[in-house]
Structure 1
Amino acid sequence: MLKFKPSKVTLAMLSTGLLAVSAPMYAQAAEEAQAAQGEDEVEVIEVRGFRRSVVESINTKRYSSEVVESISAEDIGKLPDSSIAESIARLPGLTAQRLDGRASRVSIRGFGENESGTTFNGREQVSISDNRGVEFDLYPSEIMSGVTVYKTPSASLEAEGIAGVIDMQTINPLGQSERVIQFNGQYEQTSFDKLNPDGDDDGFRGTFSYIDKFNDDTLGVAFAYSTMSSPNQEKRWNSWGFPTFTYPDGSEGSILGGAKPFVRSSTLERDSAMLVIEAAPTENLKMMFDALYVDFKDEKILRGIEIPFAWGQGSISPESATIDAETGFVTGATTQGQRVVVRNDYEEREAELTSLGFNLEYDIAETWALEFDASYSEVTRDIWSLESYSGTGRGNDRGVADDLSYVFDGGNTGATFGHNLDYSDYDLIQIGGPLSWGWSSALNEKYGVVGTEYENQLQDGFINAPSIDDELMTLKLAATKELDNDYLSEVTFGVSYREREKTKDSEGYFMTVSSFNYPNNPGMLSVPEEYRLGTADLGFIGMGDMIAYDSNAMVRDGYFDLLAESLTNTSHSTKSWKVKEEVTSAFVQANIDTEVAGLPLTGNVGVRYVQTDQSSVGNAFNTVDGVVVTNPRSDSHDYSHVLPSLNLSLKLDDDQTVRFGVAKTLSRARLDEMNASVSATYNQQPDSNGNYWSVSGGNVELEPKEALGIDLTYENYFSAEGYFSVALFHKELDEWIFDGNYEVDMSGVADPATGIVPPNSTGTGSGKINGGDGSLSGYELSLTLPFNVFTDALDGVGLIASHTGVESDLEDPNGNEYELPGLSESITSFTLYYEKNGFQARASMRKRDDFKGDVYGLGFDTVQVDILGETIWDAQIGYDFGEGGFKSLEGLSIFLQAQNLNDEPFTSLSGDNSLQVRDYQDYGSTYLLGFSYKL
């Protein structure tokens, strides 16, 4: 049987602990390293800190059976990153989408976050979003030991994803050489001064870590606690849209419909605790329990002026209009007699994550081993998003109007405005709905204004309050048998079961000032003195100062009456649902260990069978006399897949490897698309399909998207600290999900108009269906280059760089081209670093081209928009006193970090015209000053 023969470089890394030795092959190599040091002189490579983490990440990639990318603990802890997403986004082929200024949603090789699986210590994770994609800003980087991204799967992986699987790992305490007690602290400052008088522009982070071993190194404990209060600020231009119109000469153009610019001050508060207990009471038995708890609160204060323009009440002066000749877009104009809405908004997003896992490995014989794994995770998320309106008078035609002008400057920054009123005057601007929004028959009836001049003029604010509860339980039992032949080293087989249930409840509330009374007191409410906070500066859009008050406190103290929007609005019934998945899997995987033409060939071959039962409980609803009428509705569906995989690694010599992978993979449908809640109308005449019901909403019978992936990679490890690789990848895509029609079983659902269950029980549904096909192809170039390969004088200087090119050809069932969410045709990143004698300096850049991404729209619905490409620079300098020779300060290091050093905005467009800006979000830069002290 062919045995792994380590090179001298490998022996050196093994002897200094730079190479993981968990696998049997590497354990044997470690023994050979001890013997080899007595026979040959081996150059011992002693690196620490960031350079050590680079070596560890390279070795994880080098000795993995699959195509992977990796980050070690030092890599995460010392890059200028507030969450794991920032670090992951620098890996080859990966990038991240920012959400409120923080990297959150990760894309792998052109696929959005919903097409990848995420695991924690190998177990699938729940999500605080409406769907499957994990928002990584929930996870603190400070308490993780590493991340591995699997770009090619193997049969034993417990998560699915066409794009790949991202596995976050905690530390194994028995694998540590000594006790660790460590304190980390950081002070954080934004480059913007306070944009809101009650906002934050500075914050802090702190982490305590403890790792130790007991009972003759048979019991290990690791504990970490991290707390964070992180500020983030934003100057945001946001448009309502750009309606088209026809000029007198017959040509078409477009104009600003309206805008909602504002300033945002956010504070992300996150408390996290991690506990790992590892026990090895005998040589044959190892057990590990891990627990993670995260308490997450993101508080946002938003103030701005909502400005109707073409969709407003004012008249646009033709002579004031400036028109772009090439596009017909009106780049500047003036509207006379316009009323605006002054907004004082508050948003709170709270989430709690609990993750528990237990793993047992038992060697029942010399060549047999068993593994049992059980886990439970749950996340709850509540959103409280409050809008408070104020203006010069209640309704469309009361109060003082303004003459407003706007000018687009030709870039992507949106427009600046001119105005004549003083929006910081508390006597002029008072609380109440200055425009007739939010029509509700229930609201009109509550206040007795039906048929009066105040009908449909009672919305003085609005509250969105959706909640999510996501729960996941998994069980796994597997066995491994070592083999003694010239082809396979071992075979692993097993079964697993996971049950996931995700519930979303949607509700909204109309706000009306409690002092409103018709006909006695139908006016506005002057802001009480105790809630006045001064002003917020909107100079960045030309609107000057505006009144600032504590709207959330006023709601809490009873200054507003609330009325549920769900009484008359059917949308909340569509958005409320429960989805359940039961997935049973069986797999077998053989590890390859042979040779071809005298060259070592390793890898694995396997197959995974997946059986899925999915079900959903929701509502079928309609409106009768303006009131929502609902009937409970449930549906279920089952399907199965066979997923074969092959990973081969051919070692050309000690430094060069060629990898080949082929596998069938799947990505499950979004949860909000496969729920049972529908809007249902019973028609007296059948449609073209012979159905009487017309249904729109979720589709429980959605099945996963499928792909056949092929990967080919060349890797050259020319140095213990350096390598380069060239990778080609291709995926054939099938059963994608698009809009279309399908048949719905409406058995037992009553006609809301009559309350009678009709004899015809089928309906024509409109929503998401499986169909369409296409492909995605690309390449990756990766390089880690230590400059000491050129001369010893440059020891400590290095470069980490990667470039990825991706293109796709995907069509919907009607043959129309479709662009994958998250796909940027070009992704580039690099880090230039220096680390020696205690001094550390790094500069990092990540760049991506334009892409389609998901953002939150009205009512926190997921909306897909066109997002412009971006280039983001981060930097860090630091000093380790122990490494610098100050033995009395051994264990102490300090650092200064800068995030988004180049002040790169987040920009999305409405259409192809670069002047039609949907969102321009300027976050500024963030600076962190911190220390780390290890006892």
Structure 2
Amino acid sequence: MKHLKKTAIALGVVQMTMMLSGAAVAQTTEVPKSDVAAEPVAVVVTGQRAALQSAQKIKQNSDEIVDSIVAEDMGKLPDRSVTEVLQRVVGVTIDRTMAKGDPEHFSVEGSGVSIRGLSYVRSELNGRDSFSANGGRSLNFEDVPPELVAGVDIYKNPSAEQIEGAVGGLVNLRTAMPFDYKGFKAAISADRTWSELKKGKTSPSYSGLVSNRWKTPIGEVGALLDLAYSESGTRTDAFQVEPYYPLKDAKGNSVFVPKGAQWRTLEFNRKREGAYGALQWKKDDWSSSLTYFKSKYEMQWDEQAIFAQSSPYNIKVSPDATFNSKGALLTGTLTDPTDGGINFGDDTRTSNRKSDTTDISWNLRWRHDSWTVTTDLQRIKAKTHSVDSTVATGVTMPSETLDLTGSVPKILFTDAGRAYLADPKNYYWAFTMEHLDKSEANETAWKTDVKYDFDHPVLRDVRFGVRLTDRDAVTQNSNPSYNWSAISQPWQVGWNISGLASLGDPRFSGNTNVHTFNNFFNGGVSVPAVVFPNVSLAQGYPASYAQLHTYHDILCREVSPTNSCDPWKPATFGADNYAGTNDQSEKTKAMYGQLRFGWDDLKYPVDGNIGVRYVKTDSTARGYTVFTSTAPTGGTMVGVPVPNIAPFAQVKDYENDYHNVLPSLNLRMKASDTLQFRLALASALSRPDFTQLQGYTELSESANSSTNTATGVTTVNSVSLTGKGSGNPLLRPTTSKQLDLTAEWYFAPTGSVTLALFNKRLKDIVVNQTYIQQLPDTAGKLHDFVVTGPVNGAKGHARGFELAYQQYFDKLPGAWSGLGLQANFTFVDSKRDLYKPVYQKYCSGGNTADNVNLNLNGCDTDGTTFGNLPLENLSRQTYNLALLYDKGPISARLAYNWRSKALQAVNVNGTQGTDGLDSNPASPTYGQHVIAWGLPTWSDAYGQLDASMFYKFTDKLQLGLEAQNLTDATYKQLMQQNIGMMGRAWFKTGRRVVAKLSYDF
């Protein structure tokens, strides 16, 4: 793999489409845009080679810069998800974690998509809006059954007729239509997937398509139905190392030591269902289509994880410990004599999410002479809901020996240590935590497009149109969002471990199991067995939680029989849960004009289009503002004046209106029939996600003061006016001025070399920053509150190049002529510059956790800051290499995908450390100084090798095998600290093998 990485640039680069053998969908030579009902020009092609030829023709003949993936006859894409397919396209990368804010959970099939290093990606279905109900604006591509998709087009630059919203790029999923086929068409397929770490278990998938067209008295009519069902079961094993803290070693030297290391395993199961139907009709000048698309996605994962939860500053390291040149621990034994051992939590966590998206669209077209008028009406509804439940035991580990010198951490235990961890009597019931959320989004969209074809040597056609949308989105998170509730915790009993709800006490025993972590890391590592709560306790919320919290009540009354012992309260949505409700509505009005032209008589013919799109956005956020004060009132006060503002809680709606003018120019020059060059200039926008537009704000007033009991005089030393915004409903869109230059050489029907240079200059990037919000006091004087939340606070750029090559070596003798090669390479350089802020946040301490500040680029555990960071989710280098074979009945590929490290997020891996004075007697860290820290997390460079082989017994029957992650690669996550890029987590998923059988009627 290292050799592949070193030679990627020298090899040139890669355009890898993920095609299976089999007949390809009849394709047009021009990608359908708004004219979705138009009858395509059928090109009957068969085999993987022909599918690549069709995709190459789409790229060559398109008005814009586009890369396409053409599927086989049934509209089947070969990977387990659309997300996996997209990573093969030059300039496209995918995330490998389940969510941006959750870097600790790996996604085997991938998650978010970035184009040219930017996550501002728009998604479409047949040229229309498509999205998931997740608080964002785009589709979760992993939710879509790939079996329903006939092709994917990835636009790298916009034109005026395209719907606005794609700064990074546009991904358009295309489905088959009845008129794509000459007559009757039917096909079925079935497969089974085997996952290496889930020994003995397989997951089924099925799909079927039927289509036909008929001549009738009312015109020609076509109907198509496509159904898909898919299951997937995988397992992910993981090691994790806690951040490194500044401590003293046994000799008194300053060193950096993690408070522990841990391991976990996650069982993931997902079920995906899809149904797609299409009706088409045409007669004379009229044609129409009606489509129905439904995708349903359900996932369930269960995790057993052990994690360190001791105070890091109580950790002691053994005298024989070794450190690197920067003082970071390499090997050594950790102990915690202050707490009687290293306190660990052992949780069983289950998460279930159900999502579905329904799209119903109707299209009508009239074409007469030079005029074409198309009108289109769409209704889309998406919804999702989730339950995330955690039940934990706890254990005090006497010591933990670490060896962090290898490629994967080693956690070493003696036989006695292993026996200790496997004994339930050493555990206690620790806590429960649940999170609930639900979301629904709806949109009605209408557009009409008019085209007039010129009979002119230069002018080709003029297009203009209008589009109106009405969209609403409501996302609700439970209150509290993550309802952490102690059952028994060491700090509750003064670190008297014997006073906890021990599993050795018959009153509290049962409902646990000893998890042995069989075949951990594919057998490469042995870790001790751990006692975990049964999965049924996590899945049994809320009844199981109520039972567990009776243990807390028993202990509470043992301490004092007269204690009232607050009862456990489950998280709820509630009508008054303003902090957890994000209610948005948005209307847009857009119009465009676009002229297509060409000079065919020039020595080097030139053609293209020029246009402008105008769009007005009107949005409303139904919000809530809360103001509270803990500052002293009344009596005699001296020192700093305290603003007299009455506490309040009020509903407040925010109106946010803006408009944008988006010009575009696309030019193509044909140096020959096979060599052409493109120039594209455009303005683009990407609206903020709805999660960033929430209108809930908390404002607070506090004072540092002291009262002389003898005189009754209160001295106020300082007053703090601060706030926290869950979002910012007045955000503007991020905009881009972009330039693209390409050179494209199509030297064979399936042979090409293409080079693309791009430069996107970004403005109004949304970052978490501070801004001012004012409130009047009782006298009407305005006071500035420093509020933390998302703002349009930065500008930047993403620039680089793409290089792609593909070819079949037809001139080789005999069977060797079936060999082919695809390669692509992308380089992206990015920069983000903050606008000059009114207030800049630095890493600093405070006497409560709420008062600490986090720097935009993160804070290290020693209170130092980090320098400027690149844009998130951006790898500077990515490449694909694929060896292809297509000859006779055999079609095969061996494909490798690699991307360099990328910033995942900032401050998501953080907490409050302690090393000083906390003056709050009610705080568990009383007498200590609270320091906030939050580290940037990165995905390390990662490469994965996949393969497939298909054999056609007849023109109708085909058997295939696919394999993912053949080299059993380990995915590594990094945490940035000033001592270096330290290993944070290592994930192992094993190999997957799929056996597939398909039959065409």
Partner residue, 2:111: 104
Structure-2 separation of matches of 1:17 and 1:925:
30
Match of 1:600 in 2: 605
SS of corresponding position for 2:110: strand
How much has 1:563 moved relative to structure 2? Answer: 4.2
Once residues 32 and 418 of structure 2 are traced to their aligned partners in structure 1, the CA distance between those partners, rounded to angstroms, is 76
Unmatched 5+ residue regions in structure 1? 1-15, 28-32, 35-44, 195-199, 393-400, 434-459, 883-889
Q: Give a deviation string over 1:322-377, Cα, whole Å, max 9, x none.
A: 222344335432215223222222111221221221121112x3111111112122
User: What secondary structure, in the 3-state scheme, does the structure 2 residue paired with 1:158 have?
Assistant: coil
User: Conserved in 1, the CA contact under 8 Å of 2:378 and 2:445?
Assistant: yes
Q: Aligned equivalents of 2:228 and 2:87: distance in 1? A: 22
Change (3 A) 1:746 1:560: farther
- Which of 918, 941, 953 in structure 2 is aligned with 1:881? 953
For 1:403, the equivalent position in structure 2 comes to 398
Structure 2 distance, partners of 1:215, 1:859, is 66
User: Would the alpha carbon gap of residues 896 and 631 (structure 1) be closer, same or farther in structure 2, given more than 3 Å must change?
Assistant: same
| Pairing 1:713–2:742 present | yes
Deviation of the 1:784 alpha carbon: 1.2
The aligned residue for residue 445 of structure 1 is none
Q: Counterpart of 1:497 in structure 2: which amino acid?
A: L
Please tell me whether the aligned partners of residues 329 and 404 of structure 2 are also in contact (alpha carbons under 8 angstroms): no
Counterpart in 2 of 1:90?
A: 88
Question: Displacement of 1:156 after TM fit?
Answer: 0.6
Report the alpha carbon displacement of residue 780 of structure 1 after superposing the two structures with TM.
1.2
1:408–1:130 distance in 2 versus 1, CA, 3 Å: farther
Q: Which one of the candidate residues 752, 770, 777 is aligned to 2:792?
A: 770
The residue that corresponds to 2:321 in the other structure is 321
Q: Of 529, 532, 535, which aligns to 1:545? A: 529
SS of the aligned residue for 2:49 comes to: helix
Residues 1:872 and 2:953 aligned together: no
Could you tell me how far apart the structure 2 residues matched to 1:830 and 1:820 are? 26
Q: Aligned-residue CA RMSD in angstroms?
A: 3.8
Q: Does 1:481 align with 2:452?
A: yes
**Distance in 2 between the 1:511 and 1:242 partners?**
27
Q: Quick check: 1:382 aligned with 2:382? A: no
- In 2, the alpha carbon distance for the partners of 1:871 and 1:527 equals 51
* Aligned counterparts of 1:691 and 1:404: Cα–Cα separation in 2: 43
Q: Where do 1:11-50 residues align within 5 Å?
A: 20=28, 48-50=46-48
1:668 and 2:667 equivalent?
no
Contact map agreement 1:738 1:768 (CA 8 A) in 2: yes
Residues 17/373 of structure 1: CA separation in 2 closer, same or farther (3 Å cut): closer
Change in CA separation of 1:738 and 1:557 when aligned onto 2, cut-off 3 Å: closer
**What residue identity is the alignment partner of 1:775?**
H
CA distance in structure 2 between the aligned counterparts of 1:714 and 1:568, rounded to whole angstroms: 55
Q: Which amino acid aligns with 1:737?
A: V
Q: Using the alignment, how far apart are the partners of 2:649 and 2:909 within structure 1?
A: 23
| 1:537 match: secondary structure | coil
1:704 maps to a residue whose letter is: P
Distance (Å, rounded) in 1 between the aligned partners of 2:985 and 2:185: 46
| Aligned twin of 2:285 | 284
- Look up the SS of the partner of 1:103 in the other structure: coil
**Cα contact 1:66–1:153 (8 A) shared by 2:** yes
- Give 1:592's aligned amino acid: F
AA aligned to 2:46 is R
2:428 and 2:221 mapped to 1: Cα distance? 63
1:510–1:565: 8 Å Cα contact kept in structure 2?
A: no
Equivalent residue, structure 1, for 2:429: 432
Q: How does 1:208-247 map to 2 (within 5 A)?
A: 208-216=208-216, 218-245=220-247
Kindly state the Cα deviation for residue 927 of structure 1 after the two structures are TM-superposed.
0.8
Q: CA deviation at 1:72?
A: 0.8
1:79 positional shift: 6.1
Partner residue in 2 for 1:931: 997
Correspondence list, 1:178-577, <5 A: 178-193=183-198, 201-216=201-216, 218-245=220-247, 252-280=254-282, 282-308=283-309, 311=312, 315-329=315-329, 331-336=331-336, 337-363=341-367, 365-391=368-394, 401-418=396-413, 420=417, 422=419, 425=422, 427-428=424-425, 432-433=429-430, 460-507=431-478, 508-510=482-484, 523-524=501-502, 535-537=515-517, 543-548=527-532, 549-550=534-535, 551-555=537-541, 557-558=543-544, 559-560=547-548, 563-564=568-569, 574-577=579-582
CA pair 565-544 structure 1, distance change in 2 beyond 3 A: same
Q: 1:355 to 1:47 in 2, by over 3 A?
A: closer
Taking a change above 3 Å as real, the CA distance of residues 350 and 859 of structure 1, as seen in their structure-2 partners, is farther
* Corresponding residue for residue 646 of structure 1: 665
User: Cα–Cα, structure 1 residues 772 and 528, in superposed 2: closer, same or farther, change >3 Å?
Assistant: closer
User: Once the two structures are superposed, what CA deviation does each residue of 1:858-904 show, in whole Å capped at 9, x if it has no partner?
Assistant: 999x996211111111101111111xxxxxxx411111111111222
Residues 108, 164 of structure 1: 8 Å contact kept: yes
Q: CA deviation at 1:222?
A: 1.5
- 1:699 pairs with 728, 748, 766, which one? 728
Q: Does structure 1 retain, via aligned residues, the 8 Å contact 2:514–2:529?
A: no
Describe the shift of the 1:875–1:143 C-alpha distance in structure 2 as closer, same or farther (beyond 3 A): same
Match of 1:885 in 2: none
Aligned to 2:810: 788
Per-residue deviation at 1:143? 0.8
Give the Cα separation in 1 of the matches to 2:997 and 2:905. 36
Measure how far apart 1:228 and its partner are: 1.3
Instruction: Describe the superposition over 1:693-715 as per-residue Cα deviations: whole angstroms up to 9, x where unpaired.
Output: 74544222211111111111111
Check whether the contact 1:683–1:694 (CA below 8 A) recurs between aligned residues. no
After superposition, the C-alpha distances for 1:403-457 in whole angstroms (9 at most, x for unaligned) are 2223233245344242625367564255611xxxxxxxxxxxxxxxxxxxxxxxx
What do residues 539-569 of structure 1 show as CA deviations (whole Å, max 9, x unaligned)? 6675422235222344365434584577999
Verify: 1:844 aligned to 2:866, yes or no.
Answer: no
Amino acid at match of 1:803: F
Aligned to 2:957: 892
Is the contact made by 1:716 and 1:723 (CA closer than 8 Å) also made in structure 2?
yes
Question: Which one-letter code corresponds to 2:309 in the other structure?
Answer: P
3-state DSSP class of the match of 2:288? strand
TM-superposed deviation, 1:595:
3.2
Give deviations 1:162-213, integer Å, cap 9, x for gaps. 111110011111121232221111111111145xxxxx84211111111111
- Consecutive unaligned residues of structure 2, counting only runs of 5 or more, are 1-23, 36-40, 98-106, 494-498, 550-566, 632-646, 705-715, 838-866, 912-933
**Structure 1 pair 767/21, CA: closer, same or farther in 2 (3 Å)?**
closer
**More displaced, 811-820 or 522-531?**
522-531
Where do 1:86-165 residues align within 5 Å?
86-99=84-97, 100-112=107-119, 115-165=120-170
Report what 2:623 is aligned to: 618
The one of 748, 752, 770 aligned to 1:741:
770
Whole-Å separation in 2 of the counterparts to 1:254 and 1:119: 49
Aligned amino acid, residue 849 of structure 1: S
Aligned length: 837
Is the alpha carbon distance of 1:598 and 1:236 closer, same or farther for their aligned partners in structure 2, counting shifts above 3 Å?
same
Kept in 2: contact 1:76–1:146 (CA 8 A): no
Residue pair 1:352, 1:379 contacting (<8 A) in 2 also: yes
For residues 535 and 370 of structure 1, the distance between their equivalents in structure 2, rounded to whole angstroms, comes to 65
Which of 879, 890, 903 is the equivalent residue of 2:968? 903
> After superposition, what is the alpha-carbon deviation per residue over 1:715-760, rounded to whole angstroms, capped at 9, x for unaligned?
111111211111111122222223333343669xxx9xxxx99774
Native 8 Å contact 1:270 1:297 kept in 2? yes
CA distance in 2, matches of 1:568, 1:166: 35
Match of 1:681 in 2: 700
Q: How far off its partner does 1:246 sit? A: 5.8
Distance 2:44 2:373 in 1: 37
CA distance in 2 between partners of 1:866 and 1:575 (Å): 29
- Amino acid corresponding to residue 433 of structure 2 in structure 1: F
Share of identical aligned residues, percent?
Answer: 21
- Partner letter of residue 523 of structure 1? A
- Distance, in Å, in 2 between the alignment partners of 1:372 and 1:693 is 51
